[in-house]
Amino acid sequence: MRRPIIAGNWKMNMGVKEAEELIEAIKKIDLNKEVEALVCPPFVDLYRVSELLENTAIKLGAQNMHYEKSGAFTGEVSPNMLKELGVSYVILGHSERRQYFAESDDLINKKLQAALANGLSPILCCGETLEEREAGEEEKKVARQIEKALKDVKEDDFDRIVIAYEPIWAIGTGKTASSDDAEKMSSFIRSLVKDKHGDKAAKSVRIQYGGSVKPSNIKEIMGKDNIDGALVGGASLEAESFSQLVNF
């Protein structure tokens, strides 16, 4: 059984003050305990949010990290630094990082290996552009991203790995992939994992859909066999809608 996981990706929103307010508001609402709820604030908020989440079931994630432990990497944050703050998940290879910060599949593979080695659970993002979908190349694109990012990952590690399928054209646009298309890609991703990493890996890896998920469409998305959760941007920035997503 794969536990559903709803993750809020705050992106570059919410300074510490706003973060405090949002977390305090979320804490006042009853969240379904069967669902794993996770918030991923900017780095500067992590310390404070970690304190506020103590003794709650809400998990903490980061939006990125470097793969080295320490050293001359100005502006970067290491896996062990995140771990020390009580972070348990890290989003890797988000399309915004690939697009604006030139992150390659090889780099994402290094980060993913480092996350696993440091006891962090990676949320590996993948997804196609509108042009790729219109050309019928969405599976080819996602297959390449997944294969490269998961290179040399062991079968036993897949119960700690989350893969987020986020079609780029659906992110922040209000356009959602149809739940059937999202399910089709999730099932394709699971079969890829099975081919490369074995049956146990395919059964345990959790797959999220991301891209304009909101309270009005979460239920339909979560009703699909191969979709185990959602990675949510805009609709996670408000306590009421975030809790509605967790309580889908």
Say whether residue 183 binds ligand PGA (CB under 6 A): no
Say whether residue 8 binds ligand PGA (CB under 6 A): no
Residue number of the CB closest to ligand PGA reads: 233
Say whether residue 213 binds ligand PGA (CB under 6 A): yes
Strand, helix or coil for residue 89:
strand
Distance between CA 12 and CA 101 in Å, rounded? 14
Q: Which of 231, 243, 245, 248 binds ligand PGA (CB under 6 A)?
A: 231
What are residue 112's phi and psi, to 5 degrees?
-65, -45
Q: Which of 6, 120, 126, 171 binds ligand PGA (CB under 6 A)?
A: 171
Beta carbon nearer to ligand PGA, 126 or 201: 126
Considering the complex, what minimum distance in angstroms separates the CB of residue 234 from ligand PGA?
4
Instruction: Looking at residues 140 to 169 of the shown chain, list those that interact with ligand PGA (rule: CB under 6 A).
Output: 166
Tell me, yes or no, if 84 is annotated catalytic: no
User: 36, 66, 94, 138: which is the annotated catalytic residue?
Assistant: 94
Q: Token pair for residue 97?
A: 């990082």
Say whether residue 212 binds ligand PGA (CB under 6 A): yes
* Strand pairing class (162-165; 121-126): parallel
Tell me, yes or no, if 238 is annotated catalytic: no
Q: Which stretch binds ligand PGA (CB under 6 A): 12-20, 145-153, 183-191, 227-235?
A: 227-235
Catalytic residues: 94, 166
